[in-house]
C-alpha cells in the first residue's frame, strides 16, 4: 500500500505526459509551417547559422519520436516523421536536437555532466534493483544501502537531464525566431510541442525520486 502511495502520482503523471506528447505532436504535425521548410532543412540551416555545418551531420532514422543528438558521432538524428516533414511539430523537434548540438559546442555544464554520468547510470540502472531485491529478501541493510546509493545515481541523471532538455527547447525557440523560420504566431505552437515533450522528462524525474523515497522509507523502517 505504501508503495502505491509513493508511486501512483508519478505513474499518473507519466501516463498523462505520454498522452500529451503524442497528442500534441500529432496535432501540430497537421499544421504546415509558414516557411515550408522540412525538419532536415531547418536543422541544416541552424547548424550553418551556428558555424557547425562542417562538424555536425544530419541523419534520418526509423520510427516516430526517436529523434536525438549523438554527441559521440556529432550527429543530429531525425525520425521519419520529422526529417522530411514541414510541420510545426517537425521543425520544433529538429530545432530542439540542434539545441543539444549547440549545447555541446558551447560545453554547456549540465550536458557535459550528463555525458559523464551515462556509463555510471547504465550500470546503476541495471544493478540497483537486483541488489535491492536481494538485500530486502535476506534482510541485509548493507546491500539495501548499496542498492539505494546506486539508484541515487539514476535519480541524479534524471535531475541533470531535466535542465538540459529545457535549455535545448529554449535555444530551439530562440534560434527559430531569430533565423526567421517561424512567424510570431507560430512561436506558441512550437512551445506547446516542446513543452509537452519536456513533461515526459519531468514525469521520469518525479518517478525516479518517488522510487528513491520509497526505498529510503523501507531502509529507515528496517533500521528501527
Q: Which of 61, 42, 171 is nearest to 105 (CA)?
A: 171
139 is written with which cell numbers? Answer: 534482510
Sequence-distant contacts of 146-151: CB under 8 A, at least 24 apart: 147/215, 148/212, 148/215, 148/216, 148/219, 150/123, 150/124, 151/124, 151/208, 151/211, 151/212, 151/215
This prediction has a pTM of: 0.90
Q: What is the pLDDT of residue 79?
A: 96
H-only helix segments in the chain: 2-29, 39-49, 80-83, 88-105, 109-138, 141-178, 187-222
How much is the pLDDT for 221? Answer: 62
Q: Which residues are known to be catalytic?
A: 97
Nearest to 106 by CA among 29, 167, 22, 65: 167
pLDDT (0 to 100) of residue 20: 94
- The mean pLDDT values, 10 residues at a time, for the chain of 224 residues are 68 90 95 96 98 96 94 96 96 98 97 95 94 89 92 96 97 96 96 95 92 83 54
Q: Domain segments of the chain: what residues?
A: 2-222
Q: According to the model, what pLDDT value does residue 222 have? A: 55
| Joined grid coordinates for residue 130 | 537486483
DSSP 51: T
Could you tell me the three cell numbers for 32?
A: 504546415
If DSSP states are collapsed to H, E and C, what string results for 191-203? HHHHHHHHHHHHH
Cell of 215: 526505498
Amino acid at each position: 500500500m505504501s508503495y502505491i502511495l509513493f508511486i501512483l502520482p508519478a505513474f499518473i503523471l507519466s501516463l498523462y505526459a505520454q498522452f500529451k506528447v503524442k497528442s500534441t505532436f500529432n496535432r501540430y504535425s497537421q499544421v504546415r509551417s509558414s516557411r515550408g521548410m522540412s525538419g532536415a532543412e531547418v536543422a541544416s540551416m541552424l547548424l550553418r547559422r551556428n558555424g557547425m555545418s562542417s562538424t555536425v551531420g544530419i541523419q534520418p532514422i526509423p520510427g516516430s519520436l526517436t529523434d536525438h543528438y549523438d554527441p559521440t558521432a556529432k550527429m543530429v538524428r531525425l525520425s521519419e516523421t520529422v526529417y522530411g516533414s514541414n510541420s510545426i511539430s517537425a521543425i520544433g523537434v529538429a530545432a530542439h536536437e540542434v539545441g543539444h548540438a549547440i549545447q555541446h559546442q558551447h560545453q554547456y555544464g549540465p550536458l557535459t555532466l550528463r555525458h559523464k554520468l551515462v556509463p555510471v547510470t547504465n550500470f546503476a540502472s541495471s544493478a540497483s534493483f537486483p541488489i535491492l531485491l536481494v538485500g530486502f529478501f535476506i534482510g541485509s541493510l548493507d546491500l539495501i544501502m548499496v542498492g539505494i546509493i546506486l539508484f541515487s545515481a539514476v535519480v541524479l541523471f534524471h535531475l541533470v537531464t531535466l535542465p538540459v532538455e529545457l535549455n535545448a527547447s529554449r535555444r530551439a525557440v530562440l534560434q527559430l525566431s531569430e533565423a526567421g523560420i517561424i512567424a510570431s504566431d507560430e512561436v506558441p505552437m512550437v512551445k506547446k510541442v516542446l513543452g509537452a515533450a519536456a513533461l515526459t522528462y519531468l514525469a521520469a524525474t518525479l518517478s525516479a525520486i518517488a522510487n528513491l523515497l520509497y526505498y529510503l522509507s523501507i531502509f529507515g523502517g528496517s533500521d528501527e
